[in-house]
Amino acid sequence: MNGKDRLARFLQTDPRDVGCDEAMAVLHVYVELVADDPAAAADRFPGGAVHLAACGPCREDFDGLLAAVRNEG
Amino acid sequence: MDPLAELDDDSAEWLRVLDPGADDHDAGLARLHATLLRIARGELHRRRTSMVAGRELDDLAHQSAADAMLAILAKLGTFRGESRFTTWAYRFVILEVSHKLGRHYWRGAPEPLDDEQWDRLPDRLGVDPQEHAEAGRLAEAVRLAVEQGLTERQRTVFVDVVLHGVPLDALCARDGTSRSAIYKVVFDARRKIRAVLVANGYLASREEEPA
């Protein structure tokens, strides 16, 4: 991937992105769905999945909550 | 059907013991705090932050657990049983860890941030350092697009986040605003910069991009 492609990818935005507040409001529900069936989770919360792919801090929170759920059993 | 009526046994037990009328309420609070502290420590360890270490790291874990516990008890009535109680509760402490690390960022910020460091942009985007000429054109094209297309607020936030690598949560702490507000500014800035770059012929429009 060259520099222009990287820039284009970085600037790409998705209108389905629900933003931080909405994604965080359902994070606990989404994480449990992902732990059981990631594809089903993305089907149920497509805008949340898009947001978590684009927003680094929310993705970090998602990763942390998923790790906690998996570690605690 | 009310999801609370179908709670798993563990979640139902948490709700029972966190009821102030329960005989073992104090023990329940202690158990919740110990659980939150364990999650906070695990999360700080998982993030491997270089900003905090040693006793200060454990202080952050204690603060995160304490503040999460207050929030959980205040919002207990909003728990609807859409997830296990523990997953719902862990979310509070994970978000507290993020919030506290964002505030902590400025204590260890290495240097005052200069406004114009566009030569950093290719590196921030992961452009191969061997692509010197392309990197220079790219940085200049974006700089012009920022000047032409963004408001002053969008420009400031874009420069902080993209050129200086300031975490969104650190900007929230500095500006006293929410993560979603900062994210929206960056989201709009990216969209506008892209539109200017397409209009200037630097990037292809989406219709022209290969599938």
pLDDT tens profile B79-92: 999 999 999 999 99
The amino acid present at A3, given as its one-letter code, is: G
pTM of the model: 0.89
| Residue B114, pLDDT score | 59
**B contact test, residue of A2, A5, A10 with most B CBs within 10 A:** A10
| Residue B211, pLDDT score | 43
pLDDT tens profile B6-34: 899 999 999 999 999 999 999 999 999 99
User: Which fold would CATH assign to domain B3-105?
Assistant: Rna Polymerase Sigma Factor; Chain: A (1.10.1740)
Relative orientation angle of helices B54-74 and B85-105, to the nearest 10 degrees? 130
Nearest CB partner across the interface for B88, out of A19, A28, A57: A28
Residue A19 to chain B, least CA–CA distance (Å):
6
Residue B121 in this model has a pLDDT that exceeds 90: no
Residue B25 to chain A, least CA–CA distance (Å):
22
Q: Is B15 exposed, middle or buried (0-12, 13-18, 19+ CB in 10 A)?
A: middle
Say how many C-beta atoms besides its own lie within 10 A of residue B208's C-beta.
8
B210 CB-near residues (< 8 Å, 6+ apart): none
B207 touches A at CB < 8 Å: no
Question: How much of chain B, in percent, has pLDDT values that exceed 70?
Answer: 91
Q: Show residues of chain A in contact with B187, CB under 8 Å.
A: 13, 17, 19
- CATH no., domain B118-208: 1.10.10.10
pLDDT tens profile B160-201: 888 888 899 999 999 999 999 999 999 999 999 999 999 988
| Residue B80, pLDDT score | 93
B135 touches A at CB < 8 Å: yes
Are B91 and A60 in contact (CB < 8 Å)? no
Residue B187 to chain A, least CA–CA distance (Å):
7
- What Rg do the C-alpha atoms of chain B give, in angstroms? 23
A40-44, A66-70, B59-63, range with the lowest pLDDT: A40-44
Q: Among A56, A20, A61, A52, which residue's Cα sits nearest to residue B179?
A: A20
Spacing of C-alpha B5 from chain mean position: 34
Name the segment(s) of chain B with CATH classification 1.10.1740.10: 3-105
pLDDT tens profile A48-58: 999 999 999 99
Task: Pick B154 or B112 by higher pLDDT.
Answer: B154
Q: What mean pLDDT do residues B117-130 have? A: 79
Name the segment(s) of chain B with CATH classification 1.10.10.10: 118-208
